[in-house]
């Protein structure tokens, strides 16, 4: 019973809350294209990325996220294009987003390049209220939301070199209110409001020895009406093959991460989160796994794998 109550509270915060946030990732350092369109094409190869995240396993209605993306440089590496699809399921809601990314890169100071990015996206929201437990005396939401369409645009900036990066972005600049189908045009009640999520990302690669690299990284996310979310991580790459590290989500979770560069093209990664809040009593943690495939031509092929 307590699991159902906690699950209901969690989904109400996510689905009925005033400030709805974008999907959450532990291995954000590999999935940058989702939050920053300026990242498109920056790896100097065609990069295909797929990720599955199961959050708060064992908690009824907990978030499940699947994403797939592809991005590539064109026109002499100055222009980058990307395409991403994200499916986010939370309790009775099922949200799908497809986004197209465009970036343009110029040479900045020294070895640094500056990329400017634009994102255009389309969102489809479904909410099945029959999945909610209904109790006497509470309002009954009778009509489901079916493929509620909302367009959006985003922007990003990405300053990077061979061993460091910093970026700021807002992938959704239009604040969208998702109304119940039965609500009138003058109604002020709504199921959820998509607020603007602002991101800051940064990272640096230290070469500790010919066989060991160390990369601390940071992602901060701010959305009005929700606490500031700060993720910090530290990863080590050994012999250009094995990656291991730890991460901390401020006042929320600790994470362990591993990765393996199986070949020049294939990289696989996994992370496990355990909550540092009381929610840990009602779930067995969060799992995230991804697979990246990169297609190089004979001119762009890198000798040593990039760490971001």
pLDDT of residue 109: 87
pLDDT at 227: 87
Q: What is the pLDDT of residue 230?
A: 96
Helices (H), the chain: 2-15
Which of 178, 200, 202, 237 is CA-nearest to residue 16?
178
Q: Per residue in 37-91, pLDDT tens?
A: 999 999 888 999 999 999 999 998 899 999 999 999 997 779 999 999 999 999 8
Domains along the chain with CATH numbers: 23-174+260-307 (2.40.160)
Mean pLDDT of 228-254: 95
* Contacts for 260-269: CB closer than 8 Å, 24+ residues apart: 261/305, 264/294, 264/296, 264/301, 264/302, 264/305, 265/293, 265/294, 265/295, 265/296, 266/291, 266/292, 266/293, 267/291, 267/292, 267/294, 267/305, 268/292, 269/27, 269/30, 269/243
Residues 196-216: pLDDT tens digits? 999 999 999 999 999 999 999
Pairwise CA distance, residues 29 & 217, whole Å: 8
**Predicted confidence band at 301 (pLDDT cuts at 50, 70, 90)?**
low
5 has a pLDDT exceeding 60:
no
Give the residue-averaged pLDDT of 151-177.
93
Quickly list DSSP for 213-272. EEEEEEEEEEETTSPPEEEEEEEEEETTTEEEEEEEETTTEEEEEEEEE-SSSEEEEEEE
The torsion angles phi and psi of 197, rounded to 5 degrees, stand at -100, 125
Beta strands at 113-127 and 206-209: parallel, antiparallel or unpaired = unpaired
Q: Say what the pLDDT of residue 296 is.
A: 75
Beta strands in the chain (DSSP E): 46-54, 64-74, 79-90, 93-107, 113-127, 145-160, 164-170, 176-178, 192-194, 197-204, 206-209, 212-223, 229-238, 242-249, 253-261, 266-275, 286-295
pLDDT of residue 140: 55
The model's confidence at residue 186, banded by pLDDT at 50, 70 and 90, is very low
Whether 233 has a pLDDT exceeding 90, the answer reads: yes
Q: What is the mean pLDDT of residues 108-125?
A: 94
Pair 261, 307: CB distance under 8 Å: no
The reported pTM is: 0.85
Residues 299/50, Cβ–Cβ less than 8 Å: no
d(CA 3, CA 51): 27
In the predicted model, is pLDDT for residue 113 greater than 50? yes
SS (H, E, C) 267-288: EEEEEEEEECCHHHHHCCCEEE
Return all residues near 275 (Cβ < 8 A) that are at least 6 apart.
56, 252, 253, 283, 285
pLDDT over 60 at 3, yes or no: no
Is the pLDDT at 191 greater than 80, yes or no? no
CA distance 70 to 83: 5
Lowest mean pLDDT, pick from 49-63, 131-145, 280-294: 131-145
């Amino acid at each position: 019973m307590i699991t159902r109550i906690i699950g209901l509270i969690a989904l109400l915060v996510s689905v009925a809350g005033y400030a709805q946030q974008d999907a959450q990732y532990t291995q954000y350092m590999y999935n940058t294209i989702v939050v920053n369109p300026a990242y498109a094409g920056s790896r100097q190869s065609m990069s295909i990325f797929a990720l599955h995240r199961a959050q708060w396993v064992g908690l009824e209605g907990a978030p499940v996220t699947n994403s797939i993306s592809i991005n590539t440089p064109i026109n002499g590496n100055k222009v980058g294009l990307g395409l991403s699809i994200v499916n986010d399921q939370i309790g009775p809601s099922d949200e799908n987003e497809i986004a197209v990314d465009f970036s343009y890169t110029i040479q900045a100071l020294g070895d640094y390049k500056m990329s400017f990015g634009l994102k255009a996206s389309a969102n489809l929201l479904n909410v099945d209220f029959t999945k909610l437990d209904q109790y006497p005396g509470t309002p009954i939401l009778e009509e489901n939301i079916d493929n509620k369409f909302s367009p959006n645009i985003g922007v990003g900036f990405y300053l990077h070199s061979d061993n460091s990066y910093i970026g700021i972005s807002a992938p959704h600049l239009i604040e969208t209110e998702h109304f119940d189908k039965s609500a009138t045009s003058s109604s002020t009640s709504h199921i959820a409001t998509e607020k603007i999520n602002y991101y800051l990302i940064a990272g640096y690669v230290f070469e500790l020895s010919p066989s060991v690299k160390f990369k601390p990284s940071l992602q901060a996310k701010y959305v009005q009406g929700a606490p500031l979310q700060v993720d910090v991580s530290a990863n080590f790459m050994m012999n250009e093959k094995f990656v291991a590290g730890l991460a901390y989500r401020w006042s929320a979770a600790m994470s362990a991460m591993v990765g393996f560069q199986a070949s020049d093209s294939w990289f696989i990664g996994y992370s496990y989160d355990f909550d540092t809040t009381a929610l840990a009593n009602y779930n067995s943690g969060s799992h995230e796994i991804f697979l990246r495939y990169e297609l190089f031509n004979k001119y762009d092929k890198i000798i040593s794998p990039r760490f971001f």
